[in-house]
Amino acid sequence: MSRLVLRNLTKRFESIAAVDHVSLEVEEGEFVTLLGPSGCGKTTTLRTIAGFYQPDEGEIWFNDRLMNNIPPAKRNTAMCFQSYALFPHMNVWDNIAFGLKMRRIPPAEQKRRVAQVLEMMSLAGMEKRMPGQLSGGQQQRVALARAIVTQPDILLFDEPLSNLDAKLRVQVRVEIREMQKRLGITSIYVTHDQDEALAISDRIVVMNQGHIEQVGDPQTIYLHPSTSFVAGFIGLANILSGRVISRQGRRIQLETSFGNLWADAGDRTMEAGDSVRFSFRPENMTRWHEGAPNRIEGTILHAIFMGDVIDLFVDVKGTRLRAHAESTARYRSGDTAVFSIDEAAFQFLE
């Protein structure tokens, strides 16, 4: 296992900075996900860690060893790709053993390690099958087995589940996480799938346009986004602007396009007259009852049944908000509905 440190890592392609002064520390045995939209720099960061790209600026450290000029083959990393990258002319056993042969591991040790990972990845009995005879999930397990059999210091994942159907993605990501916890390998995982990142990570690094927007555990990233980008990219959010009217201790009164609201500002330095940007989640808009804070009355524009919730589009004095209601609720377009937002639900954004 290795501790990974990136210091002002920068990678340019001509005049475009795909990764722009990224600094990050990943502890031994930690599972960290790089999350963001296409083109945000997450895969370039991963490939630079692996040594496939040479950084233009900054440093990459594995423990106390500077890796900038170390070739990929000598970094003791392993990567799982979106395409699996299995050799079609080799059976499962030979695919898994390939990296051990390249490292000139003694045959007896190769046999022991391959048998061990076959059992770990539920592939025992499939040793002689060719990749074309395997399902997508089985091929991904073979690719993962090939990666871990070399006992890497750092395991790198480049959108490994993108080619699997939704149900199988959930199953395989659980298997990946269980394997990583069992072996304790420091892991960097790249994905654009927010649900995947929330489900699998110790910490999430949200990236945008080559920069890090926010780093935190899944609960912090979802419940306390620090920027408008994070609030909008992770799940659904109502992102709005307002002005502080007054402050009473932790509580502030906000003037918005659809009325005045009370919010818990915590220890943020906000005073009357300040312009602010804030967000709250659709699930924070609950059915109003007597004594509840922040009464909001609006007209239902759309009510979409999603199985576990009803997704509501609500017009409140010309502002469109998203709310979630329990799946047994009965809402129709044109209905008037009254909601409440808890004062603690507001997240103030940079």
pLDDT (tens place) for every residue of the chain, 350 residues total = 799 999 999 999 999 999 999 999 999 999 999 999 999 999 999 999 999 999 999 999 999 999 999 999 899 999 988 887 889 999 999 999 998 998 899 999 999 999 999 998 889 999 999 999 998 888 988 998 999 999 999 999 999 888 888 888 898 899 889 989 989 999 999 999 999 999 999 999 999 999 999 999 999 999 999 999 999 999 999 999 999 999 999 999 999 999 999 999 988 888 999 999 999 999 999 999 998 999 999 999 999 999 999 999 999 999 999 999 999 999 999 999 999 999 999 999 98
Domain end point (choices 174, 203, 232): 232
Q: In angstroms, how far is CA 36 from the centroid of its own chain? A: 7
- CB-based burial, 26-44: b 16+ in 10 Å, e otherwise: beebbbbbbbbeeebbbbb
Contact yes or no for 275/241 (Cβ under 8 A) = yes
Are residues 18 and 116 both part of a single domain? yes
Are residues 270 and 215 both part of a single domain? no
Contact yes or no for 194/187 (Cβ under 8 A) = no
pLDDT of residue 163: 81
Are residues 249 and 219 both part of a single domain? no
Contact yes or no for 278/344 (Cβ under 8 A) = no
Are residues 264 and 211 both part of a single domain? no
Distance CA 104, CA 70 (A): 20
Are residues 50 and 146 both part of a single domain? yes
C-alpha R_g of the chain: 24
Are residues 227 and 336 both part of a single domain? no
pLDDT of residue 329: 92
Predicted TM-score of the model (pTM): 0.90
pLDDT of residue 315: 98
Q: How many domains does the chain have?
A: 2
- CB-based burial, 301-333: b 16+ in 10 Å, e otherwise: eebeeeeebbebbbebeeeebbbbbeeeeebee
Distance CA 194, CA 137 (A): 21
Are residues 280 and 254 both part of a single domain? yes
Q: What's 94's domain CATH number?
A: 3.40.50.300
CB neighbourhood size of 296 (10 A): 21
pLDDT of residue 239: 97
pLDDT of residue 22: 98
pLDDT of residue 137: 85
Are residues 164 and 183 both part of a single domain? yes
pLDDT of residue 121: 86
Are residues 217 and 260 both part of a single domain? no
Domain end point (choices 198, 232, 266): 232
Residue span of the structural domain in which 319 resides? 236-348
CB neighbourhood size of 102 (10 A): 10
Domain end point (choices 232, 263, 297): 232
Are residues 101 and 190 both part of a single domain? yes
Grouping H, G, I as helix, E, B as strand and the rest as coil, residue 169 is helix
CB neighbourhood size of 192 (10 A): 17
**Planar angle of CA 290, 324, 285, nearest 5 degrees:** 40
Map 234-299 to HEC letters. Answer: CCCCEEEEEEEEEEECCEEEEEECCEEEEEECCCCCCCCCCEEEEEECHHHEEECCCCCCCEEEEE
